[in-house]
Amino acid sequence: GAGVSQSPSNKVTEKGKDVELRCDPISGHTALYWYRQRLGQGLEFLIYFQGNSAPDKSGLPSDRFSAERTGESVSTLTIQRTQQEDSAVYLCASSLGGRGGTEAFFGQGTRLTVV
């Protein structure tokens, strides 16, 4: 596609349920990033992928959070046993990766609300 696509755009879930957030990066982009943005806050790094590998998972808040990427393309962020503090916008970005100053392109985000 022309840009980074995230689905769903909005998700309301009950506390304790699992959710899956999907990111389709720009074709050919080897680097893929997940961020969390709480209301009025900055971007909190979660994880990034280079190809299908995740060199840095340091931002994942707890073992309830996991992510995978397949085919150097689609990535899924899974949150198990959701809690109210997980409510936020989850942003995905992709870039050409490697060295160089290529900017990251962002999707529109998934707004997650845990009730």
How many Å apart are CA 94 and CA 31, to the nearest integer?
5
Task: Using the minimum distance from each CB to other proteins, give the nearer residue, 45 or 76.
Answer: 45
Sheet holding 19-24, edge to edge: 5-7, 19-24, 75-79, 65-69
The nearest distance, CB 100 to other proteins, in angstroms, is 8
d(CA 15, CA 20): 14
For other proteins, which stretch binds (CB under 8 A), given 13-21, 40-48, 67-75, 80-88? 40-48
The token pair at 112 is 């997650």
* Closer residue to other proteins, CB minimum distance, 1 or 42: 42
Q: Which of 1, 14, 42, 115 binds other proteins (CB under 8 A)?
A: 42
- Taking the CB of residue 25, how many other CB atoms lie within 10 A of it? 28
Angstrom distance (rounded) from CA 110 to CA 87: 10
Ranges within 61-100 binding other proteins (CB under 8 A):
89, 91, 93, 95, 97-100
Give residues in contact with other proteins (CB under 8 A).
31, 33, 35, 41-43, 45, 48, 50, 55-56, 89, 91, 93, 95, 97-101, 103-106, 108-109
